[in-house]
């Protein structure tokens, strides 16, 4: 995966110059000049785009601003992690990008569809056809087998199962000998792998993962992260993951850091220690 051009939001006047680590030198993407064409290409290649997205809860003195004019392009086939301190707006941004919540202002485009004017029924249809979800809690139906849970989105939509694609997913997630088992007979890592396969079975344009390793031990968490990495590398899946875990974020191609409802830093692939240092600096600069 090609590295990402580093972008940094102008620092607040109150933040000390030393509060944030020096950004790595921007890397030119192959085949693009440094005259702005790279940024325009990112917009054209984006499967999810946000422009001027703000979110305010409440009114008057009780109002809470969760997002402040965020601009984001999430490119097709790229694995992006979204991080930030508690209250930075990362979960709110993911919910809005996924069409689970509506912004107070701004526009969201998902796979070429501007969703602001969609009615609730149309938005539900778009999520069903273009978006896959993985949650911290696995959300498997306990009365269904692993195989039945995987194909559930297709069952609900009245769509036929692509048996070749199903077989490839099962092989990818390594559950061939567990398909007849119900969730209670599966480990936490196996349940989350079922959830990953379920999210991918409808071939979504984008996969959103909300703290996918939050309820797992380190070994099971690593298995799920490896699966997400393979989904991006081998299946070309676009993945957007919200996480507080520097180790999880280090698996991604790109890391967005939010602070006070704004995109503070946009970096390419980073090591765990580099991510940890940025998170510490953001906490200091608050």
Fold of 78-87+119-285: Rossmann fold (3.40.50)
- The Cα–Cα gap between 49 and 13 comes to 28
Measured distance CA(19)–CA(3) in Å, rounded? 25
SS3 state at 51: strand
Count of residues making up the chain: 286
pTM, full prediction = 0.79
Q: How far is CA 125 from CA 21, 38, 122, 133, 243, in A?
A: 43, 33, 5, 14, 27
User: What six digits make up the tokens of 278?
Assistant: 């940025």
CA 242-6-90 angle, to 5 degrees, is: 20
Q: Is the pLDDT confidence value at 5 over 60?
A: no
Are the C-beta atoms of residues 266 and 234 closer than 8 Å to each other? no
**Least confident window among 39-43, 59-63, 108-112:** 39-43
User: pLDDT digits over 166-212, tens only?
Assistant: 998 888 888 889 999 999 999 988 998 899 899 989 889 999 999 98
Query: Dmax of the chain from CA atoms?
Result: 59
No. of helices (H) and no. of strands (E), the chain: 10, 11
What digits encode the pLDDT tens for the residues 267-285? 999 999 999 999 999 888 7
Nearest to 16 by CA among 200, 215, 281: 281
101 with 92: CB under 8 angstroms? Answer: yes
d(CA 126, CA 118): 9
Mean pLDDT computed over 46-60:
93
The per-residue pLDDT for 213 is: 86
Q: Say whether pLDDT at 241 is over 50.
A: yes
Indicate the SS3 state at residue 130: helix
Tokens of 68: 């402040």
Q: What is the pLDDT of residue 50?
A: 95
Asked if pLDDT for residue 102 goes beyond 60, the answer is yes
CA angle 130–106–34, rounded 5-degree value:
85
Q: Where do the structural domains in the chain lie, given as residue ranges?
A: 78-87+119-285
Question: Which of 214, 281, 221 shows the shortest CA–CA distance to 251?
Answer: 221
Distance, in Å, from the CA atom of 52 to the CA atom of 236, rounded to the nearest integer, reads: 28
* Residue 51 φ then ψ, to 5°: -130, 120
User: Residue 43's pLDDT is what?
Assistant: 54
pLDDT at position 198: 93
When pLDDT is averaged across residues 124-151 and rounded to a whole number, the result is 91
Question: What is the model's pLDDT at position 62?
Answer: 86
Give yes or no for residue 251 having a pLDDT over 50: yes
Q: How far apart are CA 170 and CA 176, in angstroms?
A: 6
Distance CA 4, CA 38 (A): 10
What contacts 284, CB < 8 A, 6 or more positions away?
A: 19
Determine the pLDDT at residue 286.
67
Question: Which ranges in the chain belong to alpha helices (H)?
Answer: 37-45, 90-97, 120-130, 146-150, 152-157, 163-173, 188-200, 218-235, 246-249, 272-285
By percentage, how much of the chain surpasses pLDDT 90?
A: 58
Report residue 51's pLDDT band, with 50, 70 and 90 as the boundaries. Answer: very high
């Amino acid at each position: 995966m090609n590295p990402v051009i580093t972008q940094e939001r102008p620092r607040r006047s109150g933040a000390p110059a030393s509060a944030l680590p020096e950004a790595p030198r921007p890397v030119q993407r192959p085949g693009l000049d440094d005259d702005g064409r790279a940024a325009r290409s990112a917009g054209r290649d984006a499967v999810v785009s946000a422009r001027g997205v703000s979110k305010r809860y409440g009114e008057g003195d009780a109002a809470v601003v969760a997002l402040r004019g965020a601009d984001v392009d999430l490119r097709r086939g790229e694995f992006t992690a979204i991080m930030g301190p508690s209250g930075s707006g990362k979960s709110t941004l993911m919910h809005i990008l996924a069409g689970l919540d509506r912004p107070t202002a701004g526009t969201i485009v998902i796979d070429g569809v501007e969703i602001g004017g969609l009615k609730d029924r149309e938005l539900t249809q778009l999520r069903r056809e273009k978006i896959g979800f993985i949650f911290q809690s696995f959300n498997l139906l306990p009365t269904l087998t692993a195989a039945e849970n995987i194909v559930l989105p297709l069952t609900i939509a009245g769509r036929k199962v692509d048996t070749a694609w199903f077989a490839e997913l099962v092989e990818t997630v390594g559950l061939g000998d567990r398909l007849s088992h119900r969730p209670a007979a599966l480990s936490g890592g196996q349940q989350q792998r079922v959830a990953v396969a379920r999210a991918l079975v409808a071939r979504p344009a984008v996969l959103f993962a909300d703290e996918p390793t939050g309820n797992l031990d380190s070994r099971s968490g690593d298995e799920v992260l490896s699966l997400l990495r393979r989904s991006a590398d081998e299946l070309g899946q676009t993945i957007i993951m919200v996480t507080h875990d520097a180790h999880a974020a280090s698996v991604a191609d790109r890391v967005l850091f939010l602070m006070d409802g704004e995109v503070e830093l946009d970096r390419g692939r980073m090591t765990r220690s580099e991510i940890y240092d940025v998170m510490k600096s953001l906490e200091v600069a608050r």
